[in-house]
Structures are given as C-alpha cells and as structure tokens.
Amino acid sequence: MAEIRKYILKHKNISVAALTLDCVTGGILSVEQVFTEAHVPVGVPVKKGRIDRGALNAWWSGRAIPASRSGLKEALSRMEISQPQLLLEKCLGLSLSDQYWICPEESKLRWEKVNFFQNPFSGDVGKILFGRNVDTAAVSLMSPDNTSDGWLKKRWILADGKRCLIKGGSGTVQQEPYNEALASRLMERLNIPHVSYRLLVEGGYPYSICDDFITPDTELISAWYIMRTCRKPNHVSIYRHYLNCCETLGIPGMQEALDRMLVLDYLIVNEDRHQNNFGVIRNADTLEYLGAAPIYDSGTSLWFDKPTAMIRADAKTICKPFKTSHEEQIGLVQDFDWLDFFALKGIEEELRELVRGSLFIDEARCDALCRGLAGRVDMLKKHVDSRFRNAAFPVEAATRVRDGEAQETGLRETKLQKTEDTRNDVKQDIAYSGNIDFKPEAEYNDMMKAKRNAGYLAMLDKSMAEAEAGGFIMRSNGRMKF
C-alpha cells in the first residue's frame, strides 16, 4: 500500500483544500474537500465544488525543480532524493514567488512562522545544486531552492535582509548573466518596468543576481495560468487570447506592458520568453490584480548558444511566446510612441563594457555581439519608420482589431500584424532546456530540405494511391499507366 500523508493546501492562513500526497511520487492522490474556492490557484478549474485533480497535480509538480536543471541529477543523488517533486514536501511547498503552501492536517502551523519572506532559510540545497561541498548528513531541505524554476543552476540567498536570486550561465561562453545585466540596462534606458540584474563573478564564473520582486503581500501568476482561466476559441490568436483573459480578470495596463516586452525581446533576440517567463502580480490577501509583472528572466538571448560566426542581426532564431519569428511578433506592438531611440545610443558599447574581462567571451565574440545588437536597433528603427510612413501615406485601408473592436487604420495590410491572425502562432509553449542540439547552418538547411522533400513525397504517394483506388491509373510491372 502506498505511503500517504494528509495535508491542507493553504494560501497564507486560508485553508483552500484537503489533500492526500503520495510520499513515493510526491503527487496528489486525492482532493477530499474544497474549503475556499476563491483561493484555489489561478487556472485550476473547480466544477460543482470539486477541484480538477489533474490540473492541480500539474500546478503542484510545476512548483518543483524541472528535470532539465543543470546538475540536478548529481544534486539529487547527494541528497538521496529520487526525484525533484519529493523536495516539495520537504519545504512544505513554500516559495518566494507566491503564498501557497501545504500544512500537515493536524498541525497548528501558521504561515507567519514558516514562510521564506519573513523567516531565515537553509542554503544547503542551493549549495548542493551549485556543486559546493556540504555535509550531507546535516543537510536542511527547508529551502526556497526546492521550488525554483528554470534550467540554469540557481539558488536563493539572504543578503542584508533581502532575498536575492543568483543564477549561472551555460556552455562554453557562460553568456546568460551578461545578457541579464545588459537587458536591465537597456530597459532602464527605455523606462520599462523590470527586475534589475547585476553581474557577480565568483571563481572566474559569471552569475546574475537580483532581488526578489515579490513581497509577503503579493504573488506572481504566470501567463500560462492566466490563459487557462478562459477557453480559447480556435480562431483567436494566443496574443489576443492572453489580452482577453487579462481583460476578463480586470488586470490593468496589459497592452502597454506587452508592447514593451515585445520590443525588448526583439532588440535582444530573446529565444525563451515562454509563458512562465512573464505574467501578472496579484495581491495575495484581496486577490486584486495589480498589473503586469516587471520583466524578468531575459538571459536566453543575444545568440547565447550560437557560434561567433553565426551571430548576425538578421540571423533566424527561435521566438516566443506568441509568434514563431521576431519579425512577425514585433508586428503585434500597437504603440511605439513611448520608444526613445536616442536613449539607445551607444547601448552596444555598454555591452562591451559588461563583458570586458570575461574569461569566456573573447574579443571576436564581443565584437560580433556589439555589431549584432547595434544591428537590431537599426532593424527596429526601420520597422517603426515603415509603420509611420504607411500611416502617413495610406494606400489601402486595413482593419486593426484592438480591445475587441474593429477600427479602420489606413495602414497597408502587408505592414500590419492582425492580432486575430493565428498563422505562425507558437504551437507548443516549451521552455528552453539546454539540450537542444546545435546544427551548423548548412547542415540545418540540408535537414530542412530533406524534411520538405519527404513531406512532398508522402503527399505525392497519398495522391497516387487515391488515384489508383479510383481507377484513374493502374500499375504494370511496377510502373504507372495513365
């Protein structure tokens, strides 16, 4: 018989639901009772007083360290833990991103006594994840590192009373921390609300460090869960669906926030703005939505995993969360009036100063990155100029869908990305895991050509089979006769 334990899912001190946990897998075996439906995690359906256990399990397992985390396998082995989801119970599911936790059924524990915002926590798990020496016989697993997301190694620390997140880089160039710092400086120039990342170097390795932007009274809810609060019609784009969900929930300022995020991601060629890498802030007590979260987690950008020879402003890269290319996604921006190109002057030299002294980024790569970033600024200028020219000299009327209403804009239809257009939407929201195989451009082109040819041949075979079945053609000695 499976070993089980009874818990109460709590939101601060509010009892949300009675749960039974499987102590072998860490999963939720059953939900016995719902106490406070309004405090059920956002995006988890409740029908006729019953929580969707599958959705709640997905939410619960999503709190755990992802299996793709760098160095996780070795860290789990040292802690004698079979899988990351089992770490959730060890820290009562507490996080530094929201106010949910699990309380043993018969316990009188209160949130004030256990939360990581107001109480000290162990740094053992974080040190082990970073490969540091720790006496495993005395390890404390009461740590917010048990509920940290993402594939890069990271850990929470207490510094001068602040909760700070330290995050590493990857590969041979360890570029992500520099990218985080550069993105922060770029957003500071453009007055975009953001989490400020600083550069930290330990043992020659670069890390980014930032303060926790969540407080004991607030919580982060990712776009992934916001988009699960309403059903998405097939004809509605992911972009429009997200805005519709935010409007239904009464979240202010979302159009403006998305405009700024998409401009940033275009400039830095962000490849990993998946739906858990942006979201909204909610008051955990009143459940009032306060607005968009400041922009965070922008390190998987600036050709971070590309060979130096392939760093070009116009190089094709992965794009998320709405469209599969940055050229299309920038077309979703509704307003550029706030954008000050003069403020971006010399941003490439600021990048040069950031990476100066790096043991991993050589001068050739630094030059390529600076040229690429300057090129992205120029490309954005051309896009904005084109939009303004077409608005000033309309050739044909086009319809823009905005705030649910059709408006005549006078823009060229070819220059306007309709927000209801579902073509080239991102089909699967998958976070970058660090395991994507790199293929040189020529090899990649050959591979794609082979795939296209295979698709064409499969289509041809199907058509010929249908024609043969219909009597339009017949075979003789393996050859077709028409």
Between the alpha carbon of residue 4 and those of residues 20, 91, 147, 241, 454, the distances in Å are 7, 17, 21, 39, 51
Evaluate whether 394 touches 412 at the Cβ level (below 8 Å): yes
As given in the structure block, the two tokens for residue 19 are 């749960």
Secondary structure element (H or E) that encloses residue 404, with its range: none
According to the model, what pLDDT value does residue 135 have?
A: 87
Q: How many CB atoms lie within 10 A of CB 102?
A: 24
Give pLDDT, residue 462. 53
* Residue 476: per-residue pLDDT: 39
- Look at residue 280 in the predicted model and tell me its pLDDT: 99
Using CA atoms of 264, 155, 430, 452 in order, give the dihedral in degrees to the nearest 10. 80
The 3-class secondary structure across 55-79, one letter per residue, is HHHHHHHCCCCCCCCCCHHHHHHHH
The partner residues of 21 in beta bridges, in order of sequence, read 5, 28
Termini Cα distance of the chain: 67
Taking the CA atoms of the chain, what radius of gyration do you get in angstroms? 25
User: What pTM, to 2 d.p., does this model score?
Assistant: 0.84
Tens digit of pLDDT at every position of the chain (482 positions)? 469 999 999 999 999 999 999 999 999 999 999 999 999 999 999 999 999 999 999 999 999 999 999 899 999 999 999 999 999 999 999 999 999 999 999 999 999 999 999 999 999 999 999 999 888 788 999 999 999 999 999 999 999 999 999 999 999 999 999 999 999 999 999 999 999 999 999 999 999 999 999 999 999 999 999 999 999 999 999 999 999 999 999 999 999 999 999 999 999 999 999 999 999 999 999 999 999 999 999 999 999 999 999 999 999 999 999 999 999 999 999 999 999 999 999 999 999 999 998 999 999 999 999 999 999 999 999 999 998 887 665 433 333 444 444 443 333 333 345 566 788 898 766 655 554 333 333 443 444 454 445 444 454 455 445 545 544 444 434 444 33
- pLDDT, residue 473, reads 40
Domain boundaries defined on the chain? 4-119+134-139, 219-415, 441-481
Residue 469 has a pLDDT of 54
What type of residue is 230? C
Third-level CATH fold of 219-415? 1.10.1070
The predicted pLDDT at position 431 comes to 59
| Count of Cβ atoms closer than 10 Å to residue 384 Cβ | 16
